Amino acid sequence: MRRFGVPQKGSVRGVDDAHENWANFTSARTEKLVTSSVDMIVNLIKEWVTVLKKEGIEPDLGAWALDELKAYRQIPVQGDQRKFSVIAVVNPNKDPNTGIGEPKVEYFVLNGHAFGFTNAVYNYNRRPWAVGEILRRLFRIPTDHYYDDRWAFEPMATIQSSFTTTTEVFKLLGIRVQDDKAQGPATVEVEQEDGSTKTVETESKDNPWKDPDLLGVRFDLAKFEVKVKPGRKAEIEEEIRAILLSGRLAPGHASKLKGRLFFLTCSLFGRIGRSLMRLLSERQYEYGSRPKKRHRDEPKIGKAHALNPALRETLRNWLSILDRGRPRPIGQRRDGPADAVLFTDGAGPTSEEPNTIPKVGGVMFAWWRGEPAAFEKVVPWDYITTWLPRENQIALIELFGACLAIAHFGPEPAGKRVTMLIDSQCALDALIKGQSKFKDVIKILRVFWDLVAEYHIELYLDRVSSDANPADGMSRDGRAEAEAMGWRIEHARFPDELR
> How far is it, in rounded angstroms, from Cα 200 to Cα 124?
29
More confident residue, 94 or 353: 94
Residue 472 main-chain phi, psi, to 5 deg:
-60, -40
**Residue range 417-439, pLDDT digits in tens:** 999 999 999 999 999 988 888 88
Q: What is the model's pLDDT at position 100?
A: 87
Interacting residues of 30 by C-beta distance below 8 A, sequence separation 6+: none
Closest CA to 367 of 344, 336, 345: 336
Instruction: Report the percent of the chain where pLDDT is more than 70.
Output: 96
More confident residue, 294 or 32: 32
> How far is it, in rounded angstroms, from Cα 201 to Cα 189?
9
| Under 8 Å between Cβ of 229 and 268 | no
> How far is it, in rounded angstroms, from Cα 373 to Cα 413?
13
Per-position b or e across 320-332, b if 16+ CB within 10 A of its CB = ebbeebebbebeb
Q: What is the model's pLDDT at position 295?
A: 47
* CA-to-CA dists, residue 491 to 341, 346, 408, 473, angstroms: 19, 16, 9, 16
Q: What is the model's pLDDT at position 291?
A: 45
> How far is it, in rounded angstroms, from Cα 236 to Cα 183?
23
Instruction: Calculate mean pLDDT across residues 366-372.
Output: 94
Q: Which of 192-201, 299-308, 444-453 has the lowest mean pLDDT?
A: 299-308
Instruction: Calculate mean pLDDT across residues 238-264.
Output: 90
Q: Which of 151-160, 315-324, 335-344, 473-482 has the highest mean pLDDT?
A: 151-160
**Residue range 480-499, pLDDT digits in tens:** 889 999 999 999 999 888 87
Q: What is the model's pLDDT at position 289?
A: 41
> How far is it, in rounded angstroms, from Cα 89 to Cα 324?
48
Q: Per-residue pLDDT for 223 more than 70?
A: yes
| Under 8 Å between Cβ of 37 and 265 | no
Give CATH 3.30.70.270 domain extents, the chain.
31-75+116-222
HSE-up of 215 (CA within 13 Å, CB side)?
25
The pLDDT confidence band at residue 416, using thresholds 50, 70 and 90, is: very high
**Where do runs of H (alpha helix) occur along 73-155?**
118-139
* CA-to-CA dists, residue 397 to 280, 344, 496, angstroms: 27, 11, 16
The pLDDT confidence band at residue 268, using thresholds 50, 70 and 90, is: confident
Instruction: Calculate mean pLDDT across residues 2-20.
Output: 78
Interacting residues of 28 by C-beta distance below 8 A, sequence separation 6+: none
Q: Per-residue pLDDT for 288 more than 50?
A: no
> How far is it, in rounded angstroms, from Cα 204 to Cα 131?
24
Q: What is the model's pLDDT at position 303?
A: 61
The pLDDT confidence band at residue 68, using thresholds 50, 70 and 90, is: very high
Q: Per-residue pLDDT for 299 more than 70?
A: no
* CA-to-CA dists, residue 373 to 177, 270, 377, angstroms: 58, 25, 14
CATH for the stretch 31-75+116-222: 3.30.70.270
pTM over 0.75: yes
Instruction: Report the percent of the chain where pLDDT is more than 90.
Output: 51
Q: Which of 15-24, 50-59, 451-460 has the lowest mean pLDDT?
A: 15-24
Residue 325 main-chain phi, psi, to 5 deg:
-60, 140
Interacting residues of 213 by C-beta distance below 8 A, sequence separation 6+: 65, 183, 203, 219, 229
Give CATH 3.30.420.10 domain extents, the chain.
340-498
Q: What is the model's pLDDT at position 304?
A: 66
| Under 8 Å between Cβ of 363 and 345 | no
- Chain-wide mean pLDDT for the chain? 88
The pLDDT confidence band at residue 285, using thresholds 50, 70 and 90, is: confident
Quote the longest CA-to-CA distance of the chain: 100
- Matching CATH number, 340-498, of 3.40.50.300, 3.30.420.10, 3.90.180.10, 3.60.20.10: 3.30.420.10
**Residue range 201-221, pLDDT digits in tens:** 998 999 999 999 998 889 999
Q: Per-residue pLDDT for 475 more than 70?
A: yes
**Residue range 375-393, pLDDT digits in tens:** 999 999 888 888 988 888 9
Q: Per-residue pLDDT for 310 more than 80?
A: yes
Give the orientation angle of helix 425-433 with respect to helix 439-454, to 10 degrees: 60
Consecutive H or E run containing 49: helix 38-54
* CA-to-CA dists, residue 254 to 6, 281, 284, 301, 474, angstroms: 16, 7, 5, 15, 44
Q: What is the model's pLDDT at position 301?
A: 46
DSSP state of 122: H
> How far is it, in rounded angstroms, from Cα 435 to Cα 267?
17
**CA angle, 410 as apex, 404 and 413 as ends, to 5°?**
145
